[in-house]
A and B are shown apart, each in its own frame.
Chain A
Amino acid sequence: MKGGKSVILKTVDLVKDFGSLQAVSYVNLEIEEGEVRAIIGPNGAGKSTLLDLVTTRSRPSGGKVYFKGREITHLPSFEIASMGIGRCFQVSKLFPELTAFENIQISSISKSGKVYNVYSSMNGTMRREVTDILDSVGLREMTDELAGCLSYGDQRRLEIGITLGLQPSLLLLDEPTAGVSRAEGHQLMGLVKNLAVAKSITVVFIEHDMDMVFKYAERVSVMHLGQVITTGTPEEIRNDETVRRIYLGETES
């Protein structure tokens, strides 16, 4: 409860071993409610693995994860998702042969708790919620397009839209702008930032593009060799000696 803001996500000594390699090494991370946090670091620093551990996509070798004060370390992924942690993957995980509308519809069905409702027809249900979400990620025009036929950038938007159907309080984004043009990347991150404010969603995103990080993150955590070596404002990170060395070191090698 430092500084009046509560911690929404906390990891305590989180560890992941892959054989002799420690991909995540005693990570202690605190994300405050409502902040937009970037996680940066060279390839192989353990950023994606960290998100996998938080959502138990892979099991931690040690340590604990707390969400809103409740331990979630050993809960199954679907339970963590329904508690309000939305996850966007580096490679979009969509329902390719369903329309953009249906993609989000499934997420809304899950949120409404009507997954096992066998006898109510799908026609027009949740049209308003789903259309609102399509609007908010700028895919209104694509309502009836198959997800698999959307452009890459639109697929990234849909990936975000799907998780919004869950009405998450925490959104974990793995490289949301990878593979899209710079302009589109800024649009996407602008979108995320607006959503964070409008729906008071806490956002944690992994990013390689430093412009994006410095422009959209409120705080930045730097990972290197499985550890979080420092956390600070974009300004502090920009001027941090160690961070510079890591990134320069990477360019040299």
Chain B
Amino acid sequence: MMQSLVQGKSLILSVAIIIVLSILAVLLPEHLSELITRIVIFALFATAINIQVGYTGMMPLGQSMFFGLGAYGYGLLCIKAGLPVTLAFLSGLLLSTAMSVIIGYLCLRGDSMTFGLLHIAFNILLATLANKWISLTGGDQGLTGVPRPAPFSGTVSFYFFVLAVVLVCYIFIKVTLNSHFGKVAEGLRENEERVRFLGIDNKRFQLVVLMLSGLFTGVAGILWAMLQRGVFPTYMSLILSAEGLMMCLIGGMFTFLGPSIGAAVVTIIGNFASSYISEWQGLLGVIIIFCVIGFRGGILTKRRTLSGR
């Protein structure tokens, strides 16, 4: 009863957010609707990361590599192989998903500390490849001329394309997190050993979580490549990995929409503060310290937590 009520509320909330975003995109000047597009893409990125962080209790310190893999997969196949946009989109997804399974498998060999460190190591490795394999990726110069889907090349129409794709992803993620699978994930977050002693292969389960997270991270990466009409090594930088985690922390990782709010905060601060302060990430640091020590759980906090009492 309580649960369905809450879900009803969050449905209304989601619809309201979508309507407001849509109206804003049409009414606002173009550079601001582009800002909203960026927020929506990063919201998906953060939500994908949060499947691991908030729901399963894992610490993916290098998640931007799958954002970059999706983007490079899509960009390269469009430009170098001349694939149609749809096929390149699907292949980019396949690449980021498959790599998240392979890399995930290797990262899960040890304990949770090893996981985070290996994750960073792979992130650095791939970022270096993107930077130095100039004949393929263009190095610093990146790949330019990456296409958007033909009917959505304008700023506003592309915005609606992004909104639709992200919405579909959100529905998938939400359904997954509300399922049996999602409940077991929460158990894993709370006590991995207990889950193991309840007859569940914890490593295999985490691998599936990584796969899902990698899939949706890849979607975000591809959308980003489309938005920027290019792919650059910064798409898999450690800074971006860290920002993704910050979005989860700031917005509230124990809620579904928290990371999206975090994404909005981080992106907006990045957009405006960067014109005044060159080291605007320092400001993010301050906000995180405030959120972690002051809020215990970010802007959106589930009422029902032990630490929140």
Contacts and interface: CB of A to CB of B under 8 A. Distances in A.
Contact of A94 (B178, B184, B194): B194
Q: For chain A, which range describes its interface: under 10, 10 to 19, 20 to 34, or 35 or more residues?
A: 35 or more
Interface string B266-309: 00000000000000000000000000000000000000111000
B183 A105 contact: yes
Contacts of A106: 183-184, 186-187, 195, 198
Interface string A92-123: 01111110001001110111001111111111
Nearest to A93: B194
Contact of A79 (B4, B199, B205, B306): B199
Contacts of B193: 93
Contacts of B180: 109, 114-118, 120, 122, 125
B30 interface: no
A123 B176 contact: no
A247 interface: no
A97 B306 contact: yes
A122 B179 contact: yes
Interface in B157-190: 175-176, 178-184, 186-187, 190
B194 A118 contact: no
B201 A78 contact: yes
A69 interface: no
A94 to B, nearest CB: 7
A105 B190 CA distance: 14
B200 A78 contact: yes
A22 interface: no
A115 B181 contact: yes
A97 B187 CA distance: 9
A229 interface: no
Contacts of B21: none
B132 interface: no
Contact of A110 (B179, B199, B304, B306): B199
A123 B4 CA distance: 8
Given A93-B191, A115-B205, A110 B200 contact: yes
A232 interface: no
Contacts of B135: none
Contacts of A98: 186-187, 190
A29 interface: no
Contacts of A123: 3-4, 178
A106 B188 CA distance: 10
B306 A107 contact: no
A109 B182 CA distance: 11
A87 B197 contact: yes
Nearest to B2: A144
B278 to A, nearest CB: 40
Contact of B183 (A78, A122, A149): A122
B190 A111 contact: no
Nearest to A83: B199
A82 B199 contact: yes
B197 A109 contact: no
A119 B176 contact: yes
21 contacts: A55-B197, A76-B201, A78-B201, A81-B198, A93-B191, A95-B194, A96-B191, A102-B183, A106-B184, A106-B187, A109-B184, A115-B205, A116-B180, A118-B176, A119-B176, A120-B179, A120-B180, A121-B178, A123-B4, A148-B306, A162-B198
A78 B199 contact: yes
A166 B197 CA distance: 10
Contacts of B179: 117-122
B190 A97 contact: yes
Given A116-B208, A118-B175, A95 B186 contact: yes
A146 interface: yes
Given A77-B196, A78-B198, A106-B195, 19 more contacts: A78-B196, A81-B196, A94-B194, A95-B194, A96-B306, A97-B304, A98-B186, A98-B190, A102-B187, A107-B198, A109-B180, A110-B198, A114-B180, A117-B180, A119-B176, A122-B180, A122-B183, A123-B3, A148-B306
B144 interface: no
A119 B198 CA distance: 22
Contact of A81 (B3, B191, B199, B305): B199
Contact of A78 (B4, B190, B202): B202
Contacts of A46: none
A41 interface: no
A168 to B, nearest CB: 10
A230 to B, nearest CB: 30
